[in-house]
Structure formats: C-alpha cells, structure tokens
Structure 1
Amino acid sequence: MATRIMGSLRLVEHRRWQDIVVMILGAAILVSPMFGDTTSNTMMVVTIALAGAAILILGGVEQLFLRRWEEFLAFLCGAWVMLAPFVLEYGGPLRMWHVGLGAAVVILAVLELWQDNDRNLAS
C-alpha cells in the first residue's frame, strides 16, 4: 500500500525537479549571509558560503551524472548548514534560515538516497 501511494506521488524515482530544488536551496544558502549582520563572524560567512556553493554545484552535477556520493555530500553539507548556528554561535534570523534551509537539503538528500537504494550508483 505504501509503495502504491508513494508511486502515485512519483516519489519512488529520482526526479529532475529534486536536483533543481537542491540547486535553488544551495543558491539561497550561498547568498543568505548578505541578509544578516555578519560583520563580526567571518568564519560563518566563509563556511556557509562554501557549503552553499557545494550544494549548488552538487545539484548541478546530479543533473549530469546520478551518483550516490553526490547525494551523500549534499546530505553532509545540509547537516552542516543546519548545525552551523549552534557550532559557530550565531543567532537571529540567519539561525532560523540556516536551520530551515539545511533541513530542506537534508530531507531532499535522504529522499534521493532512498529512491536510489536499489540502484548500483556507487561509481
């Protein structure tokens, strides 16, 4: 029954829209430090910008080559974006944005990994 429901929602196959959404989330993460008071936290700006750029690039690469390592790296980058506010100790609106955007990347990466669990995509 669950497979039938998921199949009707087209969540059992890796879809192109998922990679496009990951790219959009990566771009949003990349530019997000520009919308907050980041003058005192250079480490946050650098690490979030790198994570956002990595997520953006990984989403683009997944458009060309579907590999598990891309989804796993997107998962790690999303998890970092989600945890960065607590590790680097910053708050405000950026904390909420980074937790939310990071969680969205993590959820999409987990969905994509689940969709591809029966495929041999390790290479």
Structure 2
Amino acid sequence: MFSSIKHSWISDHHDWEDVCSVSAGVLIVLSPLAAGSAATPSVAISAGLAGITITVMVMLQLMMLRRWEELLKLACGVWVVVAPLLMQYDGTLRLLHFVLGGTVVFLSVLEFWQDRSCQLDS
C-alpha cells in the first residue's frame, strides 16, 4: 500500500503543484519589495517579467497543457536562480530568488516527469 501511495505522488499531477507554482510566480514579482531600496530597477524588471511569465504559464497549463508552456516556466525558474549571480545582488533578495526559482525548477521537472506519458499538443 505504501508503495502505491509513493508511486502515485510521483506519477500523478496534483493541484497543489499548480498552486505552489502560481504562488512562487507571484512571490517572485513581489520579491524586490523585500529588498527595499537595495533592488535596482533592472533587478525589479527581471523579477517582474520572470514572475509574471511563470504565473501566466501555469494559468495556460490549467486550460490546455502544452510542452512549450512547461519549458518556458522551467527557463524562467532557471533565470530566477541564475539572476543573482549574473546581476550580482545579494542579501534577502538573493536568498528569495534561489529558493523561489529552485521551487519553480523542481515543480517544472516534476510535472515533466508526470506528463511524460500524456498525449500533449506540442
């Protein structure tokens, strides 16, 4: 019985994954506020665009799952993780972006795994 529960958790798509992805996207948009004046305009724009894109891609996935939506969400998650290194900012904002971007990347990879056997419109 335990193995079937474990297998189901890994292989089946769950609503909580979408809720977490949308929440992470919204938090990424709001994250420059946590840094206050330390966040430069370029960092705020980068976080805003990535967060909005993640949120919109999740909403599109809820309507009709397509592979490119998942790929774009994954790319945005990777960007959020890499941006602090490339744009050289640190502190709370850096930590937030590592955690939130990592969450988006993890959920994207998990959803790719779960949807591997589904017929998707490319």
- What TM-score, normalized to structure 2? 0.89
SS at match of 1:11: helix
* Aligned counterparts of 1:40 and 1:61: Cα–Cα separation in 2: 30
- Match in the other structure for 2:90: 91
Identical pairs, percent? 37
Deviation at 1:25?
0.6
- Match in the other structure for 2:111: 112
Say what the alpha-carbon RMSD is for the aligned residues. 1.9
- Match in the other structure for 2:7: 7
* Aligned counterparts of 1:38 and 1:57: Cα–Cα separation in 2: 27
Structure-to-structure mapping, 1:1-123, within 5 angstroms? 4=4, 6-8=6-8, 10-38=9-37, 41-123=40-122
Large movers: runs of 4+ above 3 Å? 3-6, 37-40
Gaps of 5+ in 2: none
| Higher fraction of helix | 2
- What TM-score, normalized to structure 1? 0.89
| Residues paired across the two proteins, number | 121
Q: Deviations over 1:10-63 (max 9, x none)?
A: 221122221121001100001110111345621111011000011111111111
